[in-house]
Chains A and B, each alone.
Chain A
Amino acid sequence: MATFDRIKAIIVDQLGVDEADVTMDASFVDDLGADSLDIVELVMALEEEFGLEIPDEEAEKIRTVGDAVNFIQDRL
Chain B
Amino acid sequence: MFLSGKVAIVTGASRGIGKAIALAMAGAQADIVINYAGRADAAEETAEAVRKIGRRALVYQADVSDTRQVQQMVDTVIAEFGKVDILVNNAGITRDNLILRMKEEDWDTVMAVNLKSAFNTIKAVARPMVKARYGRIINVSSVVGLYGNPGQANYAAAKAGLIGLTKSMAKELGPRNITVNAVAPGFIMTDMTEHLTPEAKERLTSSIALNRLGTPEDVAGVVAFLASDFCSYITGQVIGVDGGIVM
Binding site for B on A (CB under 8 A): 35, 37, 41, 44
Q: Are B127 and A37 in contact (CB under 8 A)?
A: no
Q: How many residues from B make CB contacts under 8 Å with A?
A: 6
Q: Are A41 and B175 in contact (CB under 8 A)?
A: no
Q: Number of residue pairs across A and B with beta carbons under 8 Å?
A: 8
B104 to chain A, nearest CB (A): 32
A residues near B245, Cβ cutoff 8 Å = none
Interface of A (DSSP majority class): helix
8 A-B pairs in the complex with CB atoms less than 8 angstroms apart: A35-B175, A37-B130, A37-B172, A37-B175, A37-B176, A41-B130, A41-B131, A44-B127
A11 to chain B, nearest CB (A): 16
Q: For residue B127, which residue of chain A has the nearest CB?
A: A44
Report Cα–Cα, A13/B172, bound state, in Å: 21
B residues near A44, Cβ cutoff 8 Å = 127
Q: For residue B176, which residue of chain A has the nearest CB?
A: A37
Report Cα–Cα, A44/B130, bound state, in Å: 11
B residues near A35, Cβ cutoff 8 Å = 175
B123-143 interface bits toward A, Cβ cutoff 8 Å, 1 = contact, 0 = none = 000010011000000000000
A residues near B172, Cβ cutoff 8 Å = 37
A residues near B176, Cβ cutoff 8 Å = 37
The 4 closest A-B pairs by CB, nearest first: A37-B175, A41-B130, A44-B127, A37-B176
B128 to chain A, nearest CB (A): 11
B178-202 interface bits toward A, Cβ cutoff 8 Å, 1 = contact, 0 = none = 0000000000000000000000000
